[in-house]
């Protein structure tokens, strides 16, 4: 059987005041999710382990069967993927800022006036080759960006140049071991060239005339090596694909070798076309055996503290399921859950376990006909993230017996 894994990002919630103390899932009108619950089983999943607050990166890795305690190499590589860069195992990625330095090279603003516009042009101008090393530079949100070095002998054994405070000069870029010598040389050369490029960049000229702080220097920190992840298809004998408009998630999917089935025009926003994503996923299942779909609106509304919008996005998901997923539900394994909780009352990720729903032909029915955080505790499943792939493979009759 084929497997459809739907991740409603940040799905889990807590009682929300404007919803009369109900959680967003409890308050939402969701006949399709409830029907799947009734026909299948529900429960709770700790994406990492109880009490550990998951990031979307560590959680998606764990769900796909890649132990984050083994493979997660820090925010640098995963935030870099989040900018949309396609990274490869072995690349070294840093978190970077556009910053403002004065004539003496002293940092006067670590965030270049929280610059919002034009960073894409600036970033493009900073892609270059130094020696045999490819330097990739990509803007993120506001002043944030990713700096990636790709080439032989590149390591993380170098100091950060970010002084982490204003009125200081960027720190010297020096190797911390012999293995860092080449990387430090490349980064020093990059810093020198970037000062020249940014100084004369039309955008900075304009900002100068407008009295805005120039984005005329690059500070970086938190380097990490992109992990080389075992290929998903080989690991599970399963051709896999993804539908995800969030760069961090799609970056991870690409890294494990999942194929991109994301249709044009969908986004990671709350106003995205969920039905289009689901349709694309079902189409994809004609070509591959496993598809993971990420819808992000739940998380965004959670971070915004907007429980009403989160509830409505859940209703949008449910409605989109009616015309797509519900029609194939007797032919495939369907799993619906979140990668973590983002309660609207907290506006941040929390470690609350996430409700999970599992539905496949002939499965046990636990008699719970509501899909929400509280009903879920009466359901059948109590998993941690690292169990998920095993459970899915097994539900799809794709697991091998362990023993005789």
Both tokens of 271, joined, read 């106003």
What does the DSSP 8-state code read for residue 166?
S
Classify 256 as helix, strand or coil: coil
Query: Could you tell me which stretch among 154-162, 163-171, 323-331, 385-393 binds a copy of itself (CB under 8 A)?
Result: 385-393
What string marks each residue from 365 to 384 as x (binds a copy of itself by CB under 8 A) or -? Answer: xxx-----xx--xxxx-xx-
Minimum CB distance to a copy of itself smaller for 213 or for 296: 296
Residue 20 binding a copy of itself, by CB under 8 A? no
Q: Give the separation between CA 249 and CA 260, rounded to whole angstroms.
A: 11
Residue 388 binding a copy of itself, by CB under 8 A? yes
List the end-to-end C-alpha distance of the chain, in Å, as a whole number.
Answer: 23
Q: How far is the CB of 87 from a copy of itself (least distance, A)?
A: 14
Total of chain residues touching a copy of itself, rule CB under 8 A: 59
Q: Give the separation between CA 10 and CA 15, rounded to whole angstroms.
A: 15
Minimum CB distance to a copy of itself smaller for 27 or for 184: 27
Residue 3 binding a copy of itself, by CB under 8 A? no
Q: Give the separation between CA 62 and CA 386, rounded to whole angstroms.
A: 5
User: Whose CA is closest to 23, among 9, 38, 36, 11?
Assistant: 11
Task: Provide the pairing of β-strand 217-225 with 259-260.
Answer: unpaired
Query: Could you tell me which stretch among 104-112, 116-124, 136-144, 386-394 binds a copy of itself (CB under 8 A)?
Result: 386-394
Under 8 Å between Cβ of 258 and 247: no
Residue 142 binding a copy of itself, by CB under 8 A? no
Query: Could you tell me which stretch among 76-84, 140-148, 262-270, 292-300 binds a copy of itself (CB under 8 A)?
Result: 76-84
Minimum CB distance to a copy of itself smaller for 279 or for 390: 390
Under 8 Å between Cβ of 343 and 304: no
Minimum CB distance to a copy of itself smaller for 166 or for 348: 348
Minimum CB distance to a copy of itself smaller for 71 or for 191: 71
What string marks each residue from 314 to 353 as x (binds a copy of itself by CB under 8 A) or -? Answer: -----------------------------x-xx-xxxxx-
Residue 73 binding a copy of itself, by CB under 8 A? no
Q: Give the separation between CA 293 and CA 243, rounded to whole angstroms.
A: 5
Q: Give the separation between CA 32 and CA 184, rounded to whole angstroms.
A: 56
Under 8 Å between Cβ of 298 and 8: yes
Q: Give the separation between CA 404 and CA 398, rounded to whole angstroms.
A: 16
CA angle, 223 then 229 then 235, to 5°: 170
- CA quadruple 174, 179, 182, 183: dihedral sign: negative
Residue 248 binding a copy of itself, by CB under 8 A? yes
Applying CB under 8 A, among 1, 71, 73, 75 the residue interacting with a copy of itself is 75
Q: How far is the CB of 243 from a copy of itself (least distance, A)?
A: 21
What string marks each residue from 168 to 207 as x (binds a copy of itself by CB under 8 A) or -? Answer: ----------------------------------------
Applying CB under 8 A, among 15, 84, 163, 263 the residue interacting with a copy of itself is 15
What string marks each residue from 78 to 97 as x (binds a copy of itself by CB under 8 A) or -? Answer: xx--x---------------
Both tokens of 72, joined, read 């997660």
Under 8 Å between Cβ of 47 and 340: yes
Q: How far is the CB of 53 from a copy of itself (least distance, A)?
A: 5
Residue 59 binding a copy of itself, by CB under 8 A? yes
Using CB under 8 A as the binding rule, the residues of this chain from 28 to 57 that contact a copy of itself are 48-57
Residue 122 binding a copy of itself, by CB under 8 A? no
Applying CB under 8 A, among 3, 23, 25, 302 the residue interacting with a copy of itself is 23
Residue 14 binding a copy of itself, by CB under 8 A? yes
User: Whose CA is closest to 6, among 281, 195, 216?
Assistant: 281
Residue 390 binding a copy of itself, by CB under 8 A? yes
Task: Provide the pairing of β-strand 332-337 with 217-225.
Answer: unpaired
Both tokens of 250, joined, read 């799609």
- Helix (H), strand (E), coil (C) string for 261-323: CCCCCCCCCCCCCHHHHHHHHHHHCCCCCEEEEEECHHHHHHHCCCHHHHHHHHHHHHHHHHC
**Residue ranges that bind a copy of itself, judged by CB under 8 A:** 14-15, 23, 48-59, 68, 72, 75, 78-79, 82, 248, 343, 345-346, 348-352, 362-367, 373-374, 377-380, 382-383, 387-394, 397, 399-404
């Amino acid at each position: 059987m084929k497997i459809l894994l739907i991740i409603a990002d940040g799905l889990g919630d807590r009682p929300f005041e404007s919803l009369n103390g109900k959680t967003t899932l409890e308050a939402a009108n969701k006949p399709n999710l409830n029907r799947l619950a009734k026909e299948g089983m529900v429960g709770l999943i700790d994406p990492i382990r109880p009490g550990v607050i998951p990031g979307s990166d560590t959680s998606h890795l764990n769900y796909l069967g890649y132990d984050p305690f083994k493979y997660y190499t820090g925010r640098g590589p995963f935030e870099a993927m989040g900018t949309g860069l396609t990274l490869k195992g072995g690349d070294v990625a840093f978190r970077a800022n556009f910053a403002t330095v004065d004539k003496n090279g002293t940092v006067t603003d670590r965030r270049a006036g929280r610059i919002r516009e034009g960073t894409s042009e600036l970033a493009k101008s900073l892609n270059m080759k130094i020696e045999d090393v490819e330097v990739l530079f990509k803007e993120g949100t506001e002043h944030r960006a990713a700096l990636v070095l790709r080439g032989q002998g590149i390591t993380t054994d170098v100091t950060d140049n970010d002084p982490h405070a204003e009125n200081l000069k960027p720190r010297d870029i020096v190797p911390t071991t012999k293995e860092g010598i080449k990387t430090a040389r490349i980064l020093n050369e990059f810093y020198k060239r970037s000062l020249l490029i940014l100084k004369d960049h039309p955008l900075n000229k304009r900002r100068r005339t407008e009295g805005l702080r120039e984005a005329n220097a690059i500070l970086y920190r938190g380097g990490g090596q992109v992990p080389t992840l075992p290929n998903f298809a080989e690991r599970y004998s399963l051709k896999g694909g993804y539908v995800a408009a969030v760069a961090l998630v799609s970056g991870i999917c690409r890294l494990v070798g999942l194929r991109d089935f994301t249709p044009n025009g969908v986004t990671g926003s709350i106003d995205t076309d969920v039905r289009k994503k689901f349709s694309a996923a079902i189409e994809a299942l004609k070509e591959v055996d496993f598809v993971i779909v990420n819808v992000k609106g739940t998380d965004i509304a959670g971070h915004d503290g907007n429980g009403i919008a989160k509830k409505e996005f859940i209703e949008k998901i449910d409605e989109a399921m009616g015309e797509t997923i519900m029609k194939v539900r007797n032919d495939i394994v369907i799993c619906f859950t979140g990668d973590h909780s983002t309660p609207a009352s907290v506006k941040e990720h929390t470690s609350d376990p996430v409700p999970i729903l599992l539905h496949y032909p002939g499965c046990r029915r636990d008699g719970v006909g509501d899909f929400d955080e509280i009903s879920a505790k009466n359901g059948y499943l109590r998993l941690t993230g690292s169990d998920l792939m095993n459970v899915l493979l097994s539900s799809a009759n794709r697991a091998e017996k362990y023993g005789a």
